[in-house]
Chains A and B, each alone.
Chain A
Amino acid sequence: MNELLLGLADDELVIGWRDSEWTGIAPMLEEDVAFSSIAQNEIGHARAVYELLTDDADALAFDRPLGEYRCAPLVELRLLDWAHTIARRWLYEEADRIRIAALMDDADPAVAGLAAKIDREEVYHRMHADMWHERLRGEPRFRDAVADLWPYALGVLPPEQRAELAARVRLEEVEAIGRGTHTPELAELWDEMTSVRRSAPAGAQW
Chain B
Amino acid sequence: MNEIWEVFRQERRGQPFEHAGSVVAPDAGFAETWAREQYGRRGESVALWLVPRDAIHVVEQWADEFDLKYRRVDGYSIKVRLKEARERASARSG
Chain A 124-143, CB within 8 Å of chain B: the 1/0 string? Answer: 10011001001100000000
- The CA of A28 and the CA of B34, in the complex, are separated in Å by 11
Contact in complex: A31, B34 (CB < 8 Å):
yes
- The CA of A31 and the CA of B24, in the complex, are separated in Å by 10
Size band of the interface chain B makes with A = 10 to 19
Select which of A29, A37, A131 is within 8 A of B30 by beta carbon.
A131
From A127, A131, A135, name the one whose CB has the most chain B CB atoms within 10 angstroms.
A131
- The CA of A34 and the CA of B38, in the complex, are separated in Å by 7
Inter-chain contact count A-B, CB under 8 Å?
32
- The CA of A135 and the CA of B33, in the complex, are separated in Å by 13
Given A127-B33, A128-B33, A131-B33: A33 and B26 within 8 A (CB)? no
Contact in complex: B36, A33 (CB < 8 Å):
no
Tell yes or no: B23 within 8 A of A by CB.
yes
Given A28-B24, A135-B26: A33 and B38 within 8 A (CB)? yes
Contact in complex: A124, B36 (CB < 8 Å):
yes
- The CA of A127 and the CA of B41, in the complex, are separated in Å by 13
CB neighbours (8 Å) of A127 from chain B are 33, 36
Q: Which residue of A lies closest to B22 (CB)?
A: A30
Secondary structure at the A interface, as helix, strand, loop or mixed, is: helix
Select which of A30, A134, A135 is within 8 A of B34 by beta carbon.
A30
CB neighbours (8 Å) of B33 from chain A are 34, 124, 127-128, 131
Tell yes or no: B25 within 8 A of A by CB.
yes
**Whole-angstrom distance from the CB of A136 to the nearest CB of chain B?**
11
Select which of B29, B36, B38, B41 is within 8 A of A134 by beta carbon.
B29
Contact in complex: B41, A124 (CB < 8 Å):
yes
- The CA of A39 and the CA of B38, in the complex, are separated in Å by 15
Tell yes or no: B37 within 8 A of A by CB.
yes
- The CA of A30 and the CA of B39, in the complex, are separated in Å by 11
Q: Which residue of A lies closest to B29 (CB)?
A: A131
Q: Which residue of B lies closest to A128 (CB)?
A: B33
**Whole-angstrom distance from the CB of B3 to the nearest CB of chain A?**
12
Using a CB–CB cutoff of 8 Å, the interface residues on chain B facing chain A are: 23-26, 29-30, 33-34, 36-38, 41
List, sorted by A's number, 6 A–B pairs whose CB atoms are closer than 8 Å.
Answer: A34-B34, A34-B38, A124-B33, A124-B36, A128-B33, A131-B29
**Supplied contacts A30-B23, A124-B33, 6 more A-B pairs, CB within 8 Å:** A28-B24, A33-B37, A124-B37, A127-B33, A127-B36, A131-B33
Using a CB–CB cutoff of 8 Å, the interface residues on chain A facing chain B are: 28-31, 33-34, 37, 124, 127-128, 131, 134-135
